[in-house]
Structure 1
Amino acid sequence: MNPGHPLSYLVPPTLRRLLTPAGPSSAHAQALAQLLGVAEDELDAIRLGRRYHYRPIRGAKPDGRERRILAPSPPLKRLQRRLLDEHLGRLPIHPCATAFHPGASPVFNALPHARGATIVTLDLRDFFEATRAWRVHRFFREQGWSGEPLRVLMRLCTFRDGLPQGAPTSPCLSNLVNVRLDEKLRRLAARSRGIYTRYADDLTFSWVDGGMPGGFQRAVENVLEREGYEIQPRKVWRVSRARDRPRVTGLVIAGDGRVRVPWRFRVRTVLLRWRSWLTGDPVARARWRGCQGYLRMVDRSREGARSRPRKGG
């Protein structure tokens, strides 16, 4: 099998060695070994995965469905973190992607829509798992990787057929892999003078004048389907008017160009503070500190947004 074939990593390693011509690019192997901080002869051991595995951790999503986190083993996590710090985290992402990068904030995702007359939000189902391995493979191929180094990268960054939720590399890769998707959706929105942003699996569109144009929903769904994504069936398309004070990534769109934290959250923060003070409950204190941290983050982001260029559109 051609080592550049998008499905070559699915072939068992023993069979692949028989099908693949010998002699991977030594320049690529040296570059990857240097990135990972390992000896070049360790790359094959990484690919075979003797010490590099995941431990499943199960939890619950807000909608009650099961959430599966894949915790990488310490050796695997160390290599993933180095790959992120030395390479992936330095690559440019689409300006409409507002999560998983330094300085990212839900505020910067919501602000471009703060003057929208019509706001549409939708969530993608099983975002990391649905970011398919063939798309990660295509991304690394376009970066210039091939042969054995490419297979090592796939071993480090994918699990089964998608991005493992829990790997340090997955959030960043979800942005890098989706540059095409983000640009297609931005252009779709721009045709009707709309604005688009994406915060992880949360997609938001808005229009200052008028509403969502006819055929727009089907066009967006076609783009998502071609990239392997499905819309979260329990949330579907949520179309709101400015007067409804809609929420974008948890923040209220006030309709006056600003975004606000929901008043219920602020009340909850005050109640947690009183509970922790009156009872000394460490759980309440920890939750109060978390709420306080979120409020400070929102305030800092709103201040910083005044000097940032507008995203989306």
Structure 2
Amino acid sequence: MPEPRDLSYLRILLGREEEELEELRQLTAQYHTVEVPKRRGGFRTIAIPPDDLKAFQRDVLKFLLRDFRIDGAVHGAVRGRNTKTHAAEHEYAQAAYILDFANAFGHVTRPMVEKVWRRCLFDGDEVSYLTDIVMCNGSLPQGAPTSNAIWNLVCEDLDTVLGRFAADHWLVYTRYVDELVFSHPRHLSQELRRAIRCTVRDAGFVLNPRKSRYCHVRNGALPITGISVSDGRLRLAKRRRERLRAFLHRAARDSTISRERVEGRLGEVRLVYGELPPRLRRPYEQFLETRSASAL
């Protein structure tokens, strides 16, 4: 059985002295919060770590968390997987049951995170230290680089249980961060949907009942992480395309909107379509023309 990793291992791997490690732990009291608008109205509070702590968290992510094998059903915050690969798993489904966790990161407890570090072969004080480094006020902060990876590892047992449940009922199961999707070639009965909810709750997770929805293609394409899925085709939802079009028109008039921000918003469009569809291409070209003219 491998020996537990101690503080010396941590210092060498992350290139930090013991005093510096303790100084970084003190920085966990210096998070600041920002209010970010939600797509459907309201605001989300995000806790942002100070720069030195965030840089250290990136090292923790790179050297301690990235090498874990993540379940094939998981598509969020996994290298080589994304919203498109997530939606593509359901491209020929006729029905989908889509659920969201309630305040996913906020319900992660200290014992859950400590279990992750023990999987990394740490023990005792090292487990306590690393847990302090990645948590804020007793939960996972959305603004920390480590949080998505920690969340995926916290959900490992749940993903295994739900994957087996799906296989037993001829379902396809995937998860993208806090969104769970179960699809079927025909339909999912109310009894089956109830069993899914009970399985998630029995594993200790809390669902948001307002965001749970059952969709069938007879009522339109299946909406999976912002992508419309129907008859083997993937498209961005119409409302999302129209919002992007309006954003491009606004960016052409507003010089404070950077090209980097525009390209970032269009990244998923190119991911899904390969290139910009005509309805977005023209306003994007107008944006580029206005920026070229202003540079003269």
- Asked whether the two chains share a fold, i.e. TM above 0.5, the reply is yes
Task: Name the structure 1 match of 2:206.
Answer: 230
The offset of 1:263, in angstroms, is 3.4
The amino acid across from 1:239 in the alignment is: Y
* Cα separation, partners in 2 of 1:125 and 1:27, compared to 1, 3 Å: closer
Q: Residues 252-306 of structure 1, C-alpha deviation per residue, up to 9 Å, x if partnerless?
A: 112x2121122344445445545555xx3235775754443331122349xxxxx
The offset of 1:177, in angstroms, is 1.6
User: Is the 8 Å Cα contact of residues 132 and 162 (structure 1) preserved in structure 2?
Assistant: yes
Q: For residues 160 and 293 of structure 1, what CA distance do their matches in structure 2 show?
A: 34
User: Is the 8 Å Cα contact of residues 99 and 105 (structure 1) preserved in structure 2?
Assistant: yes
Task: Name the structure 2 match of 1:211.
Answer: 187
Q: For residues 4 and 114 of structure 2, what CA distance do their matches in structure 1 show?
A: 19
RMSD across aligned positions (CA): 2.6
Q: For residues 27 and 239 of structure 1, what CA distance do their matches in structure 2 show?
A: 46
Q: For residues 290 and 140 of structure 1, what CA distance do their matches in structure 2 show?
A: 33
* Cα separation, partners in 2 of 1:40 and 1:92, compared to 1, 3 Å: same
Q: Residues 47-87 of structure 1, C-alpha deviation per residue, up to 9 Å, x if partnerless?
A: 4x257631122234334444111110122112101111112
**Corresponding position: 1:294 with 2:268:** yes
Q: For residues 27 and 285 of structure 1, what CA distance do their matches in structure 2 show?
A: 45
The offset of 1:206, in angstroms, is 0.3
* Cα separation, partners in 2 of 1:266 and 1:37, compared to 1, 3 Å: same
**Corresponding position: 1:106 with 2:65:** no
The amino acid across from 1:225 in the alignment is: R
Q: For residues 146 and 139 of structure 2, what CA distance do their matches in structure 1 show?
A: 12
Q: For residues 86 and 153 of structure 2, what CA distance do their matches in structure 1 show?
A: 17
- Percentage of identical aligned residues: 30
Q: For residues 234 and 167 of structure 1, what CA distance do their matches in structure 2 show?
A: 27
Task: Name the structure 1 match of 2:170.
Answer: 193
Q: Residues 100-130 of structure 1, C-alpha deviation per residue, up to 9 Å, x if partnerless?
A: 1223321111111111121111111111112
The amino acid across from 2:221 in the alignment is: R
Task: Name the structure 1 match of 2:287.
Answer: none
Q: Residues 160-183 of structure 1, C-alpha deviation per residue, up to 9 Å, x if partnerless?
A: 332111111001111122111111
* Cα separation, partners in 2 of 1:265 and 1:60, compared to 1, 3 Å: closer
Task: Name the structure 1 match of 2:254.
Answer: 281
Unpaired runs of 5+ in structure 2?
276-296
2:216 to 220, 238, 241: 241
Q: For residues 221 and 200 of structure 2, what CA distance do their matches in structure 1 show?
A: 27
* Cα separation, partners in 2 of 1:225 and 1:264, compared to 1, 3 Å: closer
The amino acid across from 1:261 in the alignment is: L
**1:87 aligns to what SS in structure 2?**
helix
* Cα separation, partners in 2 of 1:265 and 1:214, compared to 1, 3 Å: closer
Aligned residues: 271
* Cα separation, partners in 2 of 1:27 and 1:283, compared to 1, 3 Å: closer
The amino acid across from 1:32 in the alignment is: L
**1:109 aligns to what SS in structure 2?**
helix
The offset of 1:43, in angstroms, is 3.8
TM-score, length of structure 1 as denominator length: 0.77
Matches within 5 A, 1:3-14: none
**1:69 aligns to what SS in structure 2?**
strand
Q: Residues 195-228 of structure 1, C-alpha deviation per residue, up to 9 Å, x if partnerless?
A: 00001111111011x3224543333323332444
Task: Name the structure 2 match of 1:158.
Answer: 135
Task: Name the structure 2 match of 1:5.
Answer: none
